[in-house]
Structure 1
Amino acid sequence: MRMFTVTPSCRRPVRRGGVRHVISTALACGVLLAGATACDQGAARRMSGGAPGAASAYPGQAVGGRLPGVGDRMWSEVPAGTGQAVVVYGERRDLPDSLVVLYQKRDSTWVRTASWPGHNGRLGWTEDHRMDDERSPAGVFTLTDAGGTLADPGSRLRYWRDDHAYATMLPPEQIHAHDFDYVIAIDYNRLKGVPPFDWSRPDGVEKGGGIWLHMDHGDGTSACVTVPEPAMKTLLRTLDPARQPVVVLGDRAHLAA
């Protein structure tokens, strides 16, 4: 198992246990690489009005037997036993703006229960994510582990609080001070059942990792998906391991394929 320490300075060599590692701050998911220029309200205004999962849809809306805007390819990756899905509708392939929608299955029908404006990788999306490419990986991934710098707000997912471990991943800019107050690990290139800040990479370090749902800072990320604080609390209190929750990621065109 490879262990990494993330430092605020990009590619600063770090010495641990006599071994020298070159680390990028992009390993700490969601780190902003440009100044914050957007706000949640602005992102909401940019959402496609009539598109599947659009902000104009209302909470509690029954949407049928499959997730809106998710085509055959992605739908086939959603486990049959899944009863909760967070769908991240990226506006376009090369944009950081998203709409994040929580769906829950009631009997055989999916119901939209909440939605929020969000952000993804600052350069958009990719089907072949690589470390430091500043794009979020498109695909379907399970959600099993959570944590943060703050006390557990009532998470159904296993929750690891460690203010030091998460704080060391943040750059010094004040705008990022609360990025990791609450996080949910996206099971991309990680081990399940361990803290989100565990840096094991089963598919290799070059494939990136440390990709989370976490607190929004107003603009694009290194690869994570961010939502406002109320959204993080809702997700933590709602996502139930017994319902096999997943996150479905991608720009709208990719999702619909």
Structure 2
Amino acid sequence: MYSQVQDFILENKADLVEKWKERVKAEADEKVLEVISEQVFSKTSHDFVDLIISNLEDSDDYSSKLKGFAEKVVRLGWPLAFVTSGLRIFDRIVYDGLMEIGTINKENYADFVHKLDKWMSPMHNEIVNAYTTTWDRTVSLQKIALQELSASLIPVFDKISVMPLVGTIDTERAKLIMENLLSGVVNHRAEVVLIDITGVPVVDTMVAHHIIQAADAVRLVGAKCMLVGIRPEIAQTIVNLGINLNQFHTNSTLRKGIEQALEMTNRKIVTTEGSI
């Protein structure tokens, strides 16, 4: 039976890929397809069918192909539901094709359906497991990279330091931010610390609470804290949530914040003769 399915897929590979692409696009979320170019989608579709053929052939490199395919679709941003839907659609296309050419008929229908399911189900589980493993690893690496990039206190002038924050702030990141903030204030002997939230997509009650805690901690070690990078939509959210930031110096941009920080440390930016 498997040899019949294998022969059918190999003989009709180009046609099966085109049908698969057409049906997947018809059922997929438009937002997913918007981020995938036609060329990349076509190439990945062929890789998908090659993976299925490798499974049928019990190929020695099936595991490596499976891992490579999982890494690729995760990197491309394909949701797991999109991948599993693709498996279901391909199964249906193969079934319909075998029905059309008479390989599946009334006499062998039940046996063929059972064997098709026996073939597809393990592969479905393997692909899901490979996808989730790759996704978990990718998220972990991204989380580590984000923490390393967005929780450092940077001295920009004598007595003035900046901490740029990027991405979502959860409890774990807030703890790291607090530790780096306090140690940085002491190490750099900062008198004014600017917390830049330009790269924070959402400021809700929890995020504001973490920032307020950080500001309180900075004051306890003898420095002043300023919140900069407050976009109009963030300002509106803060007002709507009733979050009290009165204890902060605030500014809409990092540039304005640095100018104010210089004034707070008895300095200012001046324009010299001949400067542009």
TM over 0.5: no
TM range (shorter): under 0.3
TM-score (norm 1): 0.20
Write 1 or 2 for the structure with the bigger share of helix.
2
TM-score (norm 2): 0.19
Whose relative contact order is higher, 1 or 2, with alpha carbons under 8 Å and at least 6 apart? 1
Rg larger for: 2
